[in-house]
Amino acid sequence: MVRPNEEVEALLKEYADLVLITGGDAFKARAYEKAARAIGGYHADVSKLDAEGLHEIPNVGKSIAEKVLQYLRTGRMPAVEEVRSKIPAGVRQLMAIPTLGPRKAMTLYEDLHISSVPELLDAIHEERLRDLKGFGPKTEENILHGIDLMQAAGDRVPINVAMEVAEEIVAELSALSGCVSCAYAGSLRRMRETIGDVDILVAAGRSAPFMDAFTRLPDTAEVIAHGTKKTSIRTTKGLQIDLRVVPPDSWGAGLQYFTGSKAHNIRTREMAVHHKLKLSEYGLFHAKSGKKIVSQTEEEVYARLGLPWIPPTLREDRGEVAAGLRGELPDLVTEADIRGDLHTHTDLTDGLAPLDEMVTAAARRGLRYYAVTDHAPNLYMQRMTDEKVLAQRERVRELDGRHRKMRLLHGTELNIDPDGNVDWPQEFLRDFDLCVAAVHSHFNQGRDALTRRLVAACENPEVNIIGHPTTRIIGKRPGLDMDLDAVFAACARTGTALEINAHPDRLDLSDEHILRAKRYGVKFAINTDAHAPLHLEYLRYGVGTAQRGWLTTEDVINTWPLARLRRFLHKDGSAGPSSTS
């Protein structure tokens, strides 16, 4: 159920880390990192490619292609296993801690004989790390935070991993005879950023055929429970999936119940009690007589409680029931509302596909406008120059003339340096259609310095969007420690949008931060930060996060017509509401 591309990507990334730990060639490790990213973002299924097909993937040379083919044929990559054998298991366990790199993990093992998280915690509390070169109180603090992140993540998986599995299962079960309805529910339907287990709901007269078919799915590793009302399996990747079958006339009540959240369901059950009713997964009943009133659709259930249908992304008991009673639920932004993507990359810097391919993929998705925003020169490893970016601009203008239904914008992703400055001077930046600015380094500055850094970027008249604002990577890197309210206020004051980065590993801003920023009157841009055509599909996760933050089209600048967007990008406050296309 997980794409073979992702399996190979993870294996090659691990190999790159192991090469560094064992003192191998840093350039070799970098080559494997690049190949891993390229394969992970490649549009075609690598398991169906031969050597020639693999060579067409950027950064995949003969040696790497041979290792990939070997793994796809046998399920093993001996080169990785050989290097693994040189690394103690304890070091690999320590490497799993976010914020603790492979070299520091090896140092802890060799110098202090630490080979587990509990041993590491003991050493930190005893302050034994401080005698090691490169370690100190700040390092200890970062490691402790990394352990917290790892433990909080537990067995949860990114939303895209769960979504891919869920949609495959829904398709399989929907095709069976007797299936009236089938959908995923739970936290996945609510578009939470990580998923603990996947809930699948089927409406059918007989449950047995569905329960049996469910246990025979190709990637089933273990049948945890097999019943008539509920069956649970664990996939080969460790993800638990629960299937429930309800009678067709209980579909709406069942979908509402199993979607949750728990807090939202408590609220709706309290409302049912207030109306002398009882709400369960089988329907809404008279409390006294037990007679079923409604159950077939969610809309009927909510209506009988005096509520409009509440979108699943709002069902977190964060005021949605009260808003529904007042008739004030937001008209949430949808994927269909998004007219353009304002943050994408090509292989001119760290993207995996050339400009033409990215533009073609965007046009196929029906976008009205599309921005190319490759990195600026301050990220030296990207090797950007004035000449390269100006040549790209000419090419963008040429392609713009060929696409009648989609306008192309030429932008850049600037690096916000430790003082809040960005790569190019203002006079050079004025000729870009838009500028995204983001933090890419010096994450450990103090809170006040980080806050000043982001505020200074907002105050730059050429900066239009703050990209992945907190820099977090879910489960791996915490967000910046800064005064977010000061940053939100600066964005609102200067007319600088905040990005909702749709990549499932980021989803930055988070829904909680979106809710806070919205109160300041901040505008947002839902962008994919795509580095390959396949990444353009991540838009759905950014939209889901925006919905969880109660955003409407008025809040999201890339739902606006291009003329209105251009006025906003001038940062002069002239972008008022508009309905023209």
pLDDT confidence bin for 172, thresholds 50/70/90 = very high
Give 7's contacts (C-beta < 8 A, 6+ positions apart): none
Residue given tokens 């005096």 in the structure block? 306
pLDDT of 581 above 60? no
Residue 578 has pLDDT above 60, yes or no: no
Name the token pair of 341.
């993507």
Q: Which two tokens stand for residue 366?
A: 């029906």
Q: Where are the domains of the chain?
A: 4-153, 157-246, 251-325, 335-569
**489-496 mean pLDDT:** 98
- Using the predicted structure, report yes or no on whether residue 462 has a pLDDT greater than 60: yes
- Which alpha helices (DSSP H) does 176-279 contain, by range? 186-189, 208-215, 251-259, 262-274
476 or 288, higher pLDDT = 288
pLDDT digits (tens, 9 = 90+) for 530-555: 999 999 999 999 999 999 999 999 99
Label residue 54 left, alpha or beta by phi (over 0 means left) and psi (-120 to 50 means alpha). alpha
- What mean pLDDT comes out for the span 499-520? 97
pLDDT of residue 253 exceeding 80 = yes
Q: Give the tokens for residue 257.
A: 């119940």
User: Across residues 336-349, what is the average pLDDT?
Assistant: 97
Instruction: Provide the pLDDT for residue 157.
Output: 87
pLDDT of residue 574: 61
Q: Which of 98-102, 359-363, 401-405 has the lowest mean pLDDT?
A: 98-102
Cβ-in-10-Å burial (0-12, 13-18, 19+) of 568 comes to buried
Q: How confident is the model at residue 292 (pLDDT cuts 50, 70, 90)?
A: very high
Residue 244 has pLDDT above 90, yes or no: yes
Q: How far apart are CA 421 and CA 415, in angstroms?
A: 8
The two beta strands, 524-527 and 497-501, are parallel
Close Cβ partners of 508 (under 8 Å, ≥ 6 residues apart): 468, 469, 470, 471, 472, 479, 499, 500, 501
Q: How far apart are CA 312 and CA 186, in angstroms?
A: 9
Residues 135-159 pLDDT 10s: 888 888 888 877 877 766 566 889 9
Please give the Cα distance from 273 to 476 (Å, whole number). Answer: 43
* Superfamily name with CATH number, domain 157-246: Beta Polymerase, domain 2 (3.30.460.10)
**Residue 195, pLDDT score:** 93
Half-sphere exposure of 304 (CA within 13 A, CB side): 23
Mean pLDDT, residues 573-580 taken together:
56
Instruction: Please state which architecture CATH assigns to domain 4-153.
Output: Orthogonal Bundle (1.10)
520: left (phi over 0), alpha (psi -120 to 50) or beta: alpha
CATH class of segment(s) 335-569: alpha beta
Task: Give the pLDDT mean for 569-580.
Answer: 66
- Structure confidence at residue 577 (pLDDT): 62
- State percent of the chain over pLDDT 70: 97
CATH of 251-325, one of 3.30.110.40, 3.40.50.980, 3.30.43.10, 3.30.210.10: 3.30.210.10
Q: Answer yes or no: is pLDDT of 116 > 90.
A: no
Please indicate whether residue 141 or residue 253 has the higher confidence score (pLDDT).
Answer: 253
Rounded to whole angstroms, the Cα distance separating 172 from 182 reads 10
Res. 523: pLDDT tops 90 = yes
> For residue 179, what are the β-bridge partners?
204
Q: From start to end of 461-574, where are the E strands?
A: 465-466, 497-501, 524-527
Residue 188: partners with Cβ closer than 8 Å, 6 or more residues away: 159, 162, 163, 166, 195, 198, 199
Tell me how far apart the alpha carbons of residues 386 and 193 are, in angstroms, rounded to a whole number. Answer: 38
- pLDDT tens digits along 3-54: 788 889 888 988 888 887 777 777 888 888 888 888 887 877 888 888 888 9
| pLDDT of amino acid 580 | 44
pLDDT at 579: 45
Lay out the sheet containing 292-294: strands in order across. 277-280, 283-286, 292-294
Could you write out the three-class secondary structure of 65-105? Answer: HHHHHHHHHHCCCHHHHHHHHHCCHHHHHHHCCCCCCHHHH
The residue behind tokens 């049996």 is: 212
- Residue 39 CA to residue 6 CA, distance in Å, equals 8
Query: Is pLDDT of 381 > 80?
Result: no
The per-residue pLDDT for 247 is: 95
What is the edge-to-edge ordering of all strands in the sheet holding 240-246?
179-184, 197-204, 240-246, 230-235, 220-226
* Spatial distance between the Cα atoms of 542 and 501, rounded to a whole number of angstroms: 6
Confirm if 412 and 463 have CB atoms less than 8 A apart: no
Q: Which residue has the higher pLDDT, 404 or 461?
A: 461
d(CA 64, CA 335): 37
Alpha carbons 540 and 336: distance in angstroms, whole number: 10
Taking a C-beta distance cutoff of 8 angstroms, is the pair 31, 59 a contact? yes
- Would you say the CATH fold of 335-569 matches that of 251-325? no
Banded model confidence at residue 573, pLDDT cuts 50, 70, 90: low
pLDDT band, residue 469 (cuts 50/70/90): very high
The answer to whether the beta carbons of residues 129 and 123 sit under 8 Å apart is yes
Average pLDDT over residues 86-105: 74
pLDDT, one tens digit per residue, over 49-84 is 888 889 888 889 899 999 999 898 898 888 888 887
Question: Considering the chain, what is the average pLDDT of its residues?
Answer: 91
